[in-house]
Structure 1
Amino acid sequence: MILVLGATGKVGRALVPALLDAGARVRALTRDPARARVDPRAEVVAGDLDVPADLPRLVDGVDKVFVLTSGHGRDGVTREAAIAREAARAGVAHLVKLSTTGVHFGQTDPISLAHAESEEAVRQAGPAWTVLRPGTFMDNRLAWRRSVVEFGTVHAPEDDPVSALVHARDIAAVAALVLTTPGHEGATYPLTGDEALTTGQQVEVLAAALGRPLEFVQEPEAAARERMLSFGWPRSAVDGVFDLKRQSAGNEGVVFDTVRTLLGRPALTFADWARENAHLFR
């Protein structure tokens, strides 16, 4: 039995069916099973990682855990350390932790530091472990949806870094492989797409998928901050994003061949993602 945390998130919603297709039994964690859209073949369980009393029940009878929480900063570290400790007590054999390439590059922004601490908690818990470190998700470009739909524009901060964006489905495919085949224990895998694109190139790819031109607007950091705050983002989260962007400049464009090597096929492209999600931008 494989316990998947974050089963309804960007990676989890692709990972659950991938594991089931591989013949694994899956327990998918969600706060609200009645509203969750989870593959009906999975065992869907309600639970809250912030409630310690829930943890023994969640890992009971589980062999492996995909460790991914929605918390950031200290919240994420606390949740992932707690599930790792409980998994060890329950005799879980393998923990697979979803991290970030920021840790690979030794970045000290709050997001990367929190993941680095969580990685260490997973390594020290006792069970075998594997760490996946994806770069920037293609799904992050859904943040452009509102301005594209309403105004035909994409706003991005000046000096937005070149990025080797990774498709969430590729991350899920690697996670499924690691969780269902031997030989990955003790491995750390950085994950990116096969191509590094500027933000302007990404806008061109999306425009081609939509069949209409898009205006690319580069804005000063202050304006970008205000725009993000207007979406309801906490100021601490906005600060974290810009700290991450500053430290990842020069790193985000690094291409790793891990997806191609492990899966035996090219990584999915941003053009693939744009075509799949074009309906969301119309």
Structure 2
Amino acid sequence: MIFVLGATGKVGRHLVPALLDAGAEVRALTRDPAKARIDPRAEAVRGDLGTADLPALLDGADRVFVLTPGHNAEQEVAVAGAAAQAGVTHLVKLSTTGVYFGQKDPISVAHAEGEQAVREAGPAWTILRPGAFMDNRFAWLPSIQEEDAVYVPDTDPPSALIHVRDIAAVAALVLTTSGHEGATYELTGGEALTTRQQVDILAEALGRPLKYVEESESAAKDRLIRKFGWPAQAIDGLFALKRESAPNEHVVFDTVERLLGRPPLTFAAWARENASAYHRHE
């Protein structure tokens, strides 16, 4: 049986059905099974990793997909240790390419600590390190819905964005087949696109032009505080992360195609799938 943490998140909501389709038994952790839209074929269990009885949750599981809210290294240490005691045979940890590149932003550092805990816990392990998600472009929703415009920091780098369904497909493969023990896989999309190229692709999927507006970090910070009430500290953290990742986001890894035997899903496919979300607010 496979125990999935983060079952309702960006990757988890695709991973659970992929595992079930592969014939696996799945136990999915959620804070509220009544509200969570988890595939009914899975066993949905209530739990918060901060307070959960981990041995009870892990009872009967032989593989665990490790993903914690906010990339909490402390919780991942606890999960890895409890999994070893429960007799789990394989831990699969979702990390980030930031660890591969040695980035020192808080998210990459937390993932590096989580990776270490998973490697040292005892069971076999596999590390998945995806780069930036295509789903990050949902951040453009408000400005597109309101004014058909995309505001982009003038430092935004070209990025080999990855579709979350590709991450889930790789995770499902690793969790249901052998030969991936002790492997670390960097995962990206198949091409690095500039932000302007991404906006043009999205405009084509929407069937209407979008205005591309470059702005300085300080202008972006002012707009996010004024319009959305974002805390200044959170914005500074986001820009710090972007500065760390900027030199690396263009790097393309061939891992998805190598493992799945098909090219990674494209940003154009993602844009067509999600076009309806960007309908204008009249």
Q: What is the TM-score when the length of structure 2 is the normalising length?
A: 0.96
Structure-2 separation of matches of 1:226 and 1:63: 49
Given that 1:111 and 1:240 are in contact with CA atoms closer than 8 Å, whether structure 2 keeps it comes out as no
1:241 partnered with 2:238: yes
Given that 1:162 and 1:250 are in contact with CA atoms closer than 8 Å, whether structure 2 keeps it comes out as no
Deviation at 1:56, TM superposition (A): 1.3
Structure-1 separation of matches of 2:224 and 2:168: 28
1:261 partnered with 2:268: no
- Quote the residue 2:78 is aligned against: 82
Report sequence identity in percent: 71
Given that 1:135 and 1:165 are in contact with CA atoms closer than 8 Å, whether structure 2 keeps it comes out as yes
Q: Point out 4+ residue stretches in structure 1 off by more than 3 angstroms.
A: 226-237
Given that 1:209 and 1:275 are in contact with CA atoms closer than 8 Å, whether structure 2 keeps it comes out as yes
- 1:111-132 per-residue CA deviation (whole Å, 9 max, x = no partner) reads 1111111110111111111000
Structure-1 separation of matches of 2:251 and 2:117: 27
- 1:168-221 per-residue CA deviation (whole Å, 9 max, x = no partner) reads 000000000000000000000000000100001000000000000000111110
- Quote the residue 1:102 is aligned against: 98
Could you say what secondary structure the match of 1:184 adopts?
A: coil
- Quote the residue 1:168 is aligned against: 164
Structure-2 separation of matches of 1:221 and 1:40: 45
Aligned residue type for 2:21: D
**Alignment equivalent of 1:220, drawn from 216, 220, 238:** 216
Aligned residue type for 1:244: L
Structure-2 separation of matches of 1:198 and 1:215: 15
Structure-2 separation of matches of 1:65 and 1:236: 34
- Quote the residue 1:279 is aligned against: 276
User: What is the number of residues matched between the two proteins?
Assistant: 278
Deviation at 1:228, TM superposition (A): 3.7
Could you say what secondary structure the match of 1:126 adopts?
A: coil
- Quote the residue 1:250 is aligned against: 247
Structure-2 separation of matches of 1:111 and 1:141: 19
RMSD of equivalent CA atoms:
1.1
- Quote the residue 1:63 is aligned against: 62
- Quote the residue 1:35 is aligned against: 35
Deviation at 1:156, TM superposition (A): 1.3
Q: Where does structure 2 lack aligned partners over 5 or more consecutive residues?
A: none
- Quote the residue 2:48 is aligned against: 48
Mapping of 1:195-206 within 5 angstroms? 195-206=191-202
Structure-2 separation of matches of 1:99 and 1:50: 20
Could you say what secondary structure the match of 2:53 adopts?
A: helix
Q: What is the TM-score when the length of structure 1 is the normalising length?
A: 0.96
Structure-2 separation of matches of 1:223 and 1:5: 38
- Quote the residue 1:19 is aligned against: 19
Structure-1 separation of matches of 2:91 and 2:152: 36
Structure-2 separation of matches of 1:272 and 1:49: 35
